[in-house]
Structure 1
Amino acid sequence: MNAVQPQHKKVSRRARLAVGGAVLGAVALAGIGAVSANASAPAKAPAAAAAVSAPAKATTTSTHLTIDAATRAAQAALDAAEKEHQRVTVAVVDRNGNTVVTLRGDGAGPQSYESAERKAYTAVSWNAPTSELAERLKQAPNLKDIPGTLFLAGGVPVTAQNAPIAAIGVAGAPSGALDEKYAQAGAEAVTGR
């Protein structure tokens, strides 16, 4: 059997040098072009680090109660309760239902801490006093199943331009009506009403 040997064409040394030189020249020119292109264009910041400005229609501004005002409101509610010898806890939440200030009066029961926060959360969520919301349970009993809420009197919203900006919850007095009376005293301390 005859083995077929591949045949190579003989290429002169001059031809090989010419082709190699042309290839090296092309690579060199491409590199120089890339370097000069990069040198002439300013470097861009990575996309993740670039600041992007949102159009005005895509943003909103909200009003929040300051920590000083929240503290004044809580102290006013606690003072009103103590004046009537009631042992309560007062909670002030912001527009988003996050607790800003909680004051637990001397002798307030352990259940009053969470109850005050939940009443405040409920009042700001619906922008209504919790005594009014407790009445709504008669038509919509499933409202009480919403996590974090408590539909007992004692929570009042604090508003600015008819929108809730905070709420005050009070718990621990012998009745929800008293809790709400003290919460209202706290709201009046910051709204002037």
Structure 2
Amino acid sequence: MLKPATAARIAGGALGLAVLGGLATIAMPEGLPGAPAAAAASEGYDRTVSPDAVAQQEVLKADAILAAAEAGLNAAHEKGQQVTIAIVDRSGSTRLVLKTENAGPQTQESAERKAFTAVSFGQPTSALTEGASGDEPNLSDIPGTLFLAGGVPVISNGTPIAGIGVGGAPDGAIDEEIARAALHALETYRD
């Protein structure tokens, strides 16, 4: 069961929660139960866009993300590592962050940036380290990227749809082993 603060945060992000004069109001998108469909229709927003204007996008299910994170957490515990596991979607937005009990404060940013880098380039971050060195401008100059081992892309139908990043182990190869354990959970996931 969600705590009230968590539920409010979720509702605020999904439905537009506003506090006015001490009273909370929720702006609900059209089509949801209780949404002001008549108001939207009267303002000319009742038209449907052309199907040619819409792209379908594959995304990981929430339950699959949780299963992947749990598999990564189990791998971290088996290896005796204190890490953060981050999973981002195709746009690089964070979908999940999970920390072991004693993961350092720097591990979250590291994990998120590795996941972002893996999905951005569709390759494990360990494979990208060579292109990120030298004095000339290079891949590591792109904001939000981190070219250390520990990030793996999630590929579906030949396209990266998410990234898994792990930060905190004393060696990036260990971070990547944990990330691959999380990836393996997605490869074998069943509803």
- The TM-score normalised by the length of structure 1 is 0.71
Count, aligned residues: 148
Which 5+ residue runs of structure 1 have no aligned equivalent?
1-44
Q: Output the amino acid matched with 1:126.
A: F
Alignment correspondent of 2:90: 95
Alignment correspondent of 1:108: 103
SS in 1 for 2:138: helix
- Of the candidates 32, 57, 61, which is equivalent to residue 56 of structure 2? 61
SS in 2 for 1:167: strand
Distance (whole Å) between structure 1 residues aligned to residue 86 and residue 130 of structure 2:
22
* CA spacing shift, 1:62–1:110, aligned 2, 3 Å: same
| Identical-pair percentage | 51
Q: Do residues 134 (structure 1) and 129 (structure 2) align?
A: yes
- Kindly report structure 1 stretches of 4+ aligned residues shifted beyond 2 Å: 45-50, 138-142
- Higher relative helix content: 1
- Higher relative strand content: 2
Contact 2:131 2:138 in 1 (8 A): no
The offset of 1:83, in angstroms, is 0.5
Alignment correspondent of 1:174: 170
Q: 1:82-136 CA distances to partner (integer Å, 9 max, x unpaired)?
A: 1011111100111111111110101111100111011001100111100111122
Distance (whole Å) between structure 2 residues aligned to residue 52 and residue 65 of structure 1:
26
Alignment correspondent of 1:40: none
Distance (whole Å) between structure 2 residues aligned to residue 59 and residue 77 of structure 1:
34
- Of the candidates 147, 150, 154, which is equivalent to residue 154 of structure 1? 150
SS in 1 for 2:68: helix
Q: Output the amino acid matched with 2:83.
A: V
SS in 2 for 1:64: coil
Q: Do residues 190 (structure 1) and 186 (structure 2) align?
A: yes
Distance (whole Å) between structure 2 residues aligned to residue 69 and residue 141 of structure 1:
38
Alignment correspondent of 1:122: 117
Q: Output the amino acid matched with 1:85.
A: G
The offset of 1:52, in angstroms, is 3.8
When the two chains are superposed, the root-mean-square deviation of aligned CA atoms in Å is: 1.9
Distance (whole Å) between structure 2 residues aligned to residue 84 and residue 50 of structure 1:
55
* CA spacing shift, 1:147–1:48, aligned 2, 3 Å: farther
Q: Output the amino acid matched with 1:190.
A: L
* CA spacing shift, 1:52–1:125, aligned 2, 3 Å: same
Q: Output the amino acid matched with 1:166.
A: A
